[in-house]
Structure 1
Amino acid sequence: MTKEEYVRGIFDTIAHRYDLLNTLLSFNCDRGWRRFTVARTGLKPGDRALDVCCGTGMLSLELARAVTPGGRVVGVDFSPAMLQVARRRLAASPYGAAVELVEGNAMNLPFADNTFDCATIAFGLRNLPDVKGGLAEMQRVVRPGGRVVSLELAKPSRPIFKQVYYLYFDHLVPLLGRLGIGQDGPYSYLPRSLKGYPHQEEVLQYFHDLGFTGARYYELTGGIVAVHVGVKV
């Protein structure tokens, strides 16, 4: 089984509880992280945005708030179950009409070059089989002068906080996830996926290697997540 097939199976399994568990496991910080991310996009009313690995559509709706009136957001994900949850969320939101959902693969986005003013990805980059390749694909579909913005789990470095965080992440998160969805596996993958994911400095180097200008990152909540931003030349 490829990583892509494995990850799709995980998200299809947890889709019905994904948002609730994210909010609980992040101590309700996830909403602020998404808003911070959208603030880094530079989007304005009338713009077009792409939300890669859009999942249940929570970031897509935040992007829609930024581009309305007159703008458009396309959310793309490879998990049918996650997109089903996203459709219900969009139907209940006043911004839902500004969002279009597409089933597709982040490594081969079904869009032409230079289509969007910005491309975002939230908690999806570490799940891709090729992190740098995924960023390059997002870069391809963004117009020159547009931004690629990633919100992702990171590796905190502050002493004591770092130890406490990894204790929570390695032991309590899988337990709480198992209680939430009634099975082992999906939330045991979460700490494993972070351990195999590059440090935020290395991800920043990917942005530099790809030729983004003004590339930088922001650490939030003690460095447990990072927002990377780069402008396409």
Structure 2
Amino acid sequence: MADFTTAKENYVRGVFAAIARRYDLMNTLLSFNRDKYWRRFAVERTGLAAGGRALDVCCGTGMLALELARIAGPEGRVTGLDFCREMLDVATGNVAASPYGRMVELVEGNAMALPFPDDSFDCATIGFALRNVPDIAAVLAEMRRVVRPGGMVVSLELAKPSAPVFKQLYYFYFEQVLPLLGKAGVGVDGPYRWLPESLRRFPHQAAVRDIFTAVGLKEAVYHELTGGIVAVHTGRK
């Protein structure tokens, strides 16, 4: 298990290091600009209030952390954590260019062992990263640990649509067209071929909900967005 964990972490770190500089642009283009709505929807489900404390796990370039900061306001605090230095470098620039620079702290760390005490945050989020971690349950359990009692754990992630015809069209785009667009956008082939592969390996959204429940999160539910290509899972500590 340790060898698998290390191998996957190293592979995923390499994938995101390769695309960090163009990650935000490609997200917007490949999602047809729906990524902003998805992040807003996820943050609305955190229950975060003005002055609150939030953690964004696997924060990448910091876009979800900035959406949390917008809600938390000037008296709030948001911590973004990622294990990819290249992504954090981009996040540093994004935070500095935003109105929320004083409110967001970026930390290099591992989602499998969060470097925070129990009950530290009002909510914890993870965006487009749960399918990339070596152990989904372990990461969700860590997120639950660092959230205060009554706080929310929220995941925004790619999902598996089920509607006939739409499903076939989506998978054709996702598996055949998107990797070609990704290669054209970042200049390398591998990273955007990992995207459909990572979704194939990821559990259906109903199974992810059950993992939320299994790690002790209450009221676990999921919301399918944009025809079910994305799901937002929530659970309460």
TM-score (norm 2): 0.97
Matched with 2:43 is 38
Query: What amino acid sits opposite 1:141 in the alignment?
Result: V
CA distance in 2, matches of 1:59, 1:99: 11
Are residues 1:95 and 2:92 paired? no
CA distance in 2, matches of 1:210, 1:83: 28
Are residues 1:164 and 2:166 paired? no
Query: What amino acid sits opposite 1:33 in the alignment?
Result: W
> Could you list the per-position Cα deviations for residues 28-61 of structure 1 after superposition, in whole angstroms to 9, with x for gaps in the alignment?
0000000000100000111100000000000000
Instruction: Give the one of 54, 63, 67 matched to 2:68.
Output: 63
CA distance in 1, matches of 2:97, 2:216: 40
CA distance in 1, matches of 2:50, 2:36: 21
CA distance in 1, matches of 2:81, 2:215: 22
In structure 1, the gaps of 5 or more residues are none
Are residues 1:174 and 2:179 paired? yes
CA distance in 2, matches of 1:195, 1:96: 37
Shift of residue 69, structure 1, vs aligned partner: 2.6
Matched with 2:207 is 202
CA distance in 2, matches of 1:173, 1:107: 29
CA distance in 1, matches of 2:105, 2:155: 20
Matched with 2:8 is 3
Query: What amino acid sits opposite 2:140 in the alignment?
Result: L
Q: Secondary structure at the match of 1:159?
A: coil
Shift of residue 197, structure 1, vs aligned partner: 0.2
CA distance in 2, matches of 1:183, 1:60: 27
Matched with 1:47 is 52
Matched with 1:23 is 28
Matched with 2:220 is 215
Shift of residue 95, structure 1, vs aligned partner: 1.2
In structure 2, the gaps of 5 or more residues are 1-5
User: Which runs of structure 1 show a deviation greater than 4 angstroms over 4 or more consecutive aligned residues?
Assistant: none
Matched with 1:108 is 113
> Could you list the per-position Cα deviations for residues 65-111 of structure 1 after superposition, in whole angstroms to 9, with x for gaps in the alignment?
11113110000000000000011111111112100000000001110
CA distance in 2, matches of 1:183, 1:87: 24
Query: What amino acid sits opposite 1:137 in the alignment?
Result: E
TM-score (norm 1): 0.98
Are residues 1:145 and 2:150 paired? yes
CA distance in 2, matches of 1:186, 1:41: 30
Matched with 2:87 is 82
Q: How many residues get paired?
A: 232
CA distance in 2, matches of 1:204, 1:62: 24
Query: What amino acid sits opposite 1:22 in the alignment?
Result: N
Query: What amino acid sits opposite 1:155 in the alignment?
Result: K
CA distance in 2, matches of 1:119, 1:208: 16
Please provide the CA RMSD for this pair: 0.7
Instruction: Give the one of 131, 135, 147 matched to 1:126.
Output: 131
> Could you list the per-position Cα deviations for residues 117-162 of structure 1 after superposition, in whole angstroms to 9, with x for gaps in the alignment?
0000000100000011110110010011000000000000000000
